[in-house]
Amino acid sequence: MTPREAEIIELIKKEVKPALGCTEPIAVALAAAKAVEILMEQCPDCRTEKWRAHADFNVLVEVSGNMLKNGMGVGIPGTGMVGLQIAAALGAVCGKSEYGLEVLHELSGESVSRAKELADSCRIKVRHTETGHKLYAKVTVSVEDDHSSSAVIEDDHDNIVETSFDGNVLHCTQPGTGETGATGKSTLDYKLTLKEIYDFAGTVGYEDIEFILESRDLNLKLALEGLSGDYGLKVGKTINSGQYKEVFGNDFMSYAMALTAAASDARMAGCTLPAMSNSGSGNQGITVTMPVIAYAIKYEVPQEQLARALVLSHLTAIHIKGYLGKLSALCGCVIASTGAACGITSLRGGNYQQVCSAVKNMIGNITGMVCDGAKVGCAMKVASGVSSAIQSAVLAMDGICISEHDGIIEKDIEKTIRNLGRIGSVGMQNADSMILDIMVCK
């Protein structure tokens, strides 16, 4: 493995990781868990799990607008409830910060009951705050006003940048260096291009990327759970139902849409299975992988070929997301399904120019899809993204590509990607604020 290959694999492992539940409320749960762990470390009378299970915590959750938007309406695993209050309560009662985005890994019926009591007791307050970070959460926990502790997360969902006890800072990191394994480098610092991504996916040693198949295992299990249960809006289950074959048919597109939407159905409705996330988003991880996995299942693709396609898909989404930031007004489905379009193009034997065409077709198609918060309805957007990804890949394989004379498309693929990033990160800021205003004023 060359040093550059090792660096790219470092980026994949940094941005592709398991997450149990929607990552915005899970980030709040992680901060709450860390704050309680500090109390347990610092207070002699607070060091047992028995104390933790029965303590009357007072919890203040302060979050950025984007965190609030994405945490308001999404199901929290194992609770049948939605929102940041129950997420913070669970983090306080049973969360383990060592698990990162799987902070609620040790969820139990007893801990859920206790968390619901806390959430119903008005002891947990959620406030909107602006700090200049689109991804920001600070959770302060106190017990009977004797002692208090806090943990702050910024920029990445598992990036704990500051902790304190009784107002004294215990630990503070430089921006972007977090204590949960972050490298201190932003995605753009890796200076990737789509050409390098394409070449890397095709030439890196299989043994060095075989780990990416874990994203298949986790997300396929979640999809099958969504198809078997009655989660959310049942988008995937409905598409897969034989009752509507005259509408959806029984082809690859309907199969890919069903699997991908079913995984989102389950995750958004609070399923207790983890998803393999991409760039801090479980839904993005689902959408970037499941259409590619569906193709591999449908056409019996060898494991190595699938792994290379998944690396291409994941890295393309990571690369594009670098220009947008972790949270934006642009739906992550746009970025993730663009990655999936590349993966499908690769599995169909596409070359680099055809992969570029697939990206341009996607960016020229569904760029305007907005994010109005994480919720069960995301499964419908995911299904739309999958349909667009397959359409874009098929057109690209036929040599059809949106012209550089059209809209925001440029002849240079990197300029096209940057245009998408500017629209999502700068151009849609007012839309982001308006969406949040609408949501909180209903």
- Taking the C-alpha atoms of residue 17 and residue 34, their distance in angstroms, rounded to an integer, is 19
Q: How many CA atoms lie within 13 A of 193 on its CB side?
A: 8
Q: Which amino acid is at 178?
A: G
pLDDT of residue 330: 87
pLDDT band at 178 (very low <50, low <70, confident <90, very high): very low
pLDDT of residue 441: 81
pLDDT of residue 175: 53
pTM here is 0.89
Whether 182 has a pLDDT exceeding 60, the answer reads: no
Whether 328 has a pLDDT exceeding 50, the answer reads: yes
pLDDT of residue 184: 64
Closest by CA to 137, choosing from 70, 82, 39, is 70
347-370 average pLDDT score: 95
Are the C-beta atoms of residues 384 and 287 closer than 8 Å to each other? no
Look at 35-49, 92-106, 107-121, 225-239 and tell me which has the smallest mean pLDDT.
Answer: 35-49
Which ranges of 16-149 does DSSP label H, i.e. alpha helix?
A: 23-42, 49-54, 65-71, 84-94, 109-120
Whether 234 has a pLDDT exceeding 50, the answer reads: yes
What are the pLDDT digits (tens) for 48-57? 777 887 788 8
pLDDT band at 177 (very low <50, low <70, confident <90, very high): very low
What are the pLDDT digits (tens) for 342-353? 999 999 999 999
What are the pLDDT digits (tens) for 140-169? 999 876 789 999 999 989 999 999 999 899
Strand-pair category, 81-82 with 124-128: unpaired
Secondary structure (H, E, C), 68-89? HHHHCCCEECCCCEECHHHHHH
Choose between 441 and 222: higher pLDDT.
Answer: 222
What are the pLDDT digits (tens) for 111-124? 999 999 988 888 89
What are the pLDDT digits (tens) for 269-316? 989 999 999 998 999 999 999 999 999 999 999 999 999 999 999 999
H or E element that contains 203: helix 194-203
Are the C-beta atoms of residues 392 and 341 closer than 8 Å to each other? yes
% of the chain beyond a pLDDT of 90? 67
pLDDT band at 185 (very low <50, low <70, confident <90, very high): confident
Whether 339 has a pLDDT exceeding 80, the answer reads: yes
Q: Any bridge partners for residue 330, and if so which?
A: 370
Q: How many CB atoms lie within 10 A of CB 114?
A: 20
- Taking the C-alpha atoms of residue 134 and residue 236, their distance in angstroms, rounded to an integer, is 31
pLDDT of residue 268: 92
Choose between 371 and 262: higher pLDDT.
Answer: 262
Whether 363 has a pLDDT exceeding 50, the answer reads: yes
Whether 180 has a pLDDT exceeding 80, the answer reads: no
Question: DSSP label at 278?
Answer: B
91-109 average pLDDT score: 92
